[in-house]
Amino acid sequence: MNKFTRMIKTILLVLLVVGLVAPFTFQKPVLTDVQETVIATSKPVKVKVEVEVEVKKVEKPLHGVQLPNFAAISNVKEKKRQFFNFIRPSIAKENGKLLEQRIKISHMLSQLTLAELLSDEENSLLMSLSKKYRLNKRFTPMQKVNELMNRIDIVPSSLILVQAANESAWGTSRFAKVGLNFFGIWCYKAGCGMVPHGRNPGATHEVAKFNSVDEAVRHYLFNINTNSAYSVFRSIRRQLRGQDQPLTPEILATGLLPYSERGSAYVLELTDMIRHNRAYF
C-alpha cells in the first residue's frame, strides 16, 4: 500500500467518525411530553424577602407639662435664655417657701434662747418639721430648732440653674423630657420613675419622675437639705450665714462633690458654668 492510499484511508476513517458523532453533537435535544408541559406552564417565581426595620420607640411624657423644644433651638444664647427662664420661676417659688419657714424657725430660736415657751401652733410646726427633716427624736426643742436652721435654707438660684442645665443637657435629656427630672435624682421603688437604658444588671434604681417643675425643684432642695451626703454643703452655708456673708454659689458648689461620680471635675464644671452664664442670672 503506497503512501497516497494510506492517506485516503485515514481521511475516510476521520469522515466516518465525524458522520457517526455529528447527529448526536449538533442535533437539538428532544424533550418528552412531560418536560414540554412543565416548561410551557412555568412562570417566573417571585421571592418575597422581609426586611426587619427597627423603629425607635418614642416615650410618652409622664406629665402634662408643655415643655419647650430646647433641642430645636439652634442659637445657643437663645437656648440658654429660654431654659433658665423656664426653670427660674419654680426656683424662686420653692426657695421662697423655705425662707418663710426659716423665719418661723428663727423666731422659735429667739424665744427658746430667752427661755420663753413656744405656742401650741409653734410646737405643732416644730414637731411636723422635725419629722419631715428626719431629726433625732431625742433632740431637745433647742437642738431641733438649731438643726432646722441648718437644714431649712435656700440654695442660690444660679447654682440650681447650672446644675439643672448640666444634669439635663439643657433640657434635652430623656429624663427631663419624659419625667421632668432636671437634676438626675434617683428613686428606689419599682415604677417610681424611668429605668436607665444603661443600668447595670442587678441594679434596682430608677430616675425619678415628677408631675411639675415645682415638684422637681422642691425634691432637689429637700435632697440637698436632708441627705447626709450634703452635710458639708449645709455646713458651708451655715458658716456663711453666721458670718453675714452672701451665699456665694461658687463657694457652696464645693459642698457638692458627692453629687456626681466625677467629684472635683464636676464641681469645677459647675463653677465654670456659673462664671460663663452670669448674664442670664
Instruction: State pLDDT tens for residues 49-84.
Output: 555 555 557 788 889 999 999 999 999 999 999 999
Given a cut of 90, whether residue 278 has pLDDT beyond it is: yes
Given a cut of 50, whether residue 24 has pLDDT beyond it is: no
pLDDT recorded at residue 203: 86
Given a cut of 90, whether residue 17 has pLDDT beyond it is: no
pTM for the structure as a whole: 0.78
In a domain, 28, yes or no: no
54-58, 89-93, 145-149, 222-226, range with the lowest pLDDT: 54-58
In a domain, 60, yes or no: no
Do residues 182 and 34 lie in contact, with contact meaning Cβ atoms separated by under 8 Å? no
Confidence of residue 201 (pLDDT cuts 50, 70, 90): confident
pLDDT recorded at residue 100: 98
Given a cut of 70, whether residue 31 has pLDDT beyond it is: no
pLDDT recorded at residue 224: 98
pLDDT recorded at residue 139: 97
Given a cut of 80, whether residue 18 has pLDDT beyond it is: no
pLDDT recorded at residue 43: 55
| CA-based nearest residue to 111, from 135, 142, 148 | 142
The single residue listed with the C-alpha cell 417657701 is 97
Confidence of residue 45 (pLDDT cuts 50, 70, 90): low
In a domain, 42, yes or no: no
pLDDT recorded at residue 35: 46
**Residue 221 is part of a domain; what is its CATH number?**
1.10.530.10
Number of folded domains in the chain? 1
In single-letter form, the type of residue at position 210 comes to F
51-60, 114-123, 231-240, range with the lowest pLDDT: 51-60
In a domain, 37, yes or no: no
pLDDT recorded at residue 72: 97
Query: Can you name the residues that pair with 208 across neighbouring β-strands?
Result: 193
In a domain, 239, yes or no: yes
| Axis-axis angle for helices 76-113, 120-132 (nearest 10) | 130
Distances from the Cα of 220 to the Cαs of 117, 154, 167, in angstroms? 34, 11, 12
In a domain, 255, yes or no: yes
Range of the domain at 255: 76-280
In terms of Cβ atoms closer than 10 Å to its own Cβ (0-12, 13-18, 19+), residue 48 is: exposed
- Given 3-state DSSP classes, what are the helix, strand and coil percentages for the chain, each rounded to the nearest 5? 60, 0, 35
In a domain, 168, yes or no: yes
pLDDT recorded at residue 4: 38
What is the average pLDDT score of the chain?
86
Given a cut of 60, whether residue 21 has pLDDT beyond it is: no
> What is the mean predicted confidence (pLDDT) over 6-10?
45
Pick 35 or 105 by higher pLDDT: 105
> What is the mean predicted confidence (pLDDT) over 187-203?
87
